[in-house]
Amino acid sequence: MVEEQTNINVTAEQKIWKILEEVKDPEVPVLSIIDLGIVRSVNTSNDQVAVNITPTYSGCPAMDVIQMDIRLKLLEKGYKNIIISQSLSPAWTTDWMTEEGKRKLKAYGIAPPNPKQQFCSTEMFQQEAVQCPRCNSFHTEVISRFGSTACKALYRCLDCKEAFDYFKCH
Ligand SMILES: [Zn+2]
């Protein structure tokens, strides 16, 4: 009987993970919070749902929206007792973004985070070779360290002359 109980719990939690795929990043609506890799854990007990997330970086205004969206989505699906908490450590890195997420980001016209880059500082960031999401050229230059939002930087491709957002490493 214990085993059966466990199975029920796994199913309930898997259901929540599935629902969370419908919660999008307000800044990049093609990405779900699962693609972003910010959901750390999902726990259900009785009628309570506990979701733990790690902000893409502290002070990112999108996080408040994301927390609200998670709550609204779960309410919509009939869950009432919802606890959303944040884990600040370990800090989120772009490595947590799924391959699917990076692919979607590129298809959306935003250069995905450079997978080779393990850390970044202001100096490194300026020298970083960012690939153009349209023509794949590395011949790009930074226009502004802040793009359409603080989480992105604005770049220009010197080959196809298009400006594009780059999803910054934090
Ligand atoms: Zn280009």
The rounded Å distance from CA 77 to ligand 1 centre is 42
Given this model, what pLDDT does residue 162 score?
A: 92
**Mean pLDDT over residues 23-44, rounded?**
92
11-26 pLDDT, tens digit per residue, is: 899 999 999 999 998 8
Predicted structure pTM score: 0.70
DSSP string, the chain: -HHHHHHHHHHHHHHHHHHHTTPBPSSSTTSBHHHHT-EEEEEEETTEEEEEE--SSTT-THHHHHHHHHHHHHHHTT--EEEEEE--SSPP-GGGS-HHHHHHHHHTTEEPPPTT-----HHHHHH-----TTT--S-EEEEESS-SSTTEEEEEETTT--EEEEE---
The rounded Å distance from CA 38 to ligand 1 centre is 30
